[in-house]
Amino acid sequence: MMQVSKKINFEDPTVLLGVRALYIVSNLLIAGVYLYTRSKIEAKKDRTVLKYVEPAPMGSTEEPKAVTTTVHAYDMQQLRGLWKAQLMGVGMMGVMHIYFKYTNPLLIQSLIPLKGAFEGNLVKIHLFGEPASGDLKRPWKQSGGLMGAMAGGQEIKTDKKSIEAAEKAGRGGAKEE
């Protein structure tokens, strides 16, 4: 996409307007997908209890935190994270385009987040109807980006022994709803 965006004449006002329109339509489509996913989550209202151990933040001396929640609450929390990430992307793109006058990222950011939205676990389960098993089994692995990759063993644990150990440690165990 970088090579393609370099060959596009962004100096032409018609082309620039078209790319801006593509960016806006892409973000509206993502918003529509997330709103529809939210309606599907609300319609299911899955109250199945979900227990897992959330790893301690990297570099902290805190113990891992035991979390008890429902599938509905977990999905809504994940959806809020997706919304937040999308809004941050739009904000950064707005600054880059309006303030710094960069135009190439408009084209790239029209396609990559759209692809990511349709490949997300929530959308796969609620929009495409895939079963929540295998890689789609909750809780999902957190993508910590570069820092998460460097941390290595920081993963969410769902085994009974880890959950009981975290609950006994005293950090967590409160039900989130």
pLDDT tens for residues 155-176? 777 766 667 776 767 655 455 5
User: For residues 99 and 147, which has the higher predicted lDDT (pLDDT)?
Assistant: 99
* pLDDT digit string, tens, across residues 110-147: 999 999 999 999 999 999 999 999 889 999 887 655 44
Distance of CA 144 to the CA centre of its chain: 11
What number is the average pLDDT over the span 16-45?
Answer: 96
Question: Is the pLDDT assigned to residue 5 strictly greater than 60?
Answer: yes
Which helix (H) or strand (E) element contains residue 174?
A: strand 172-175
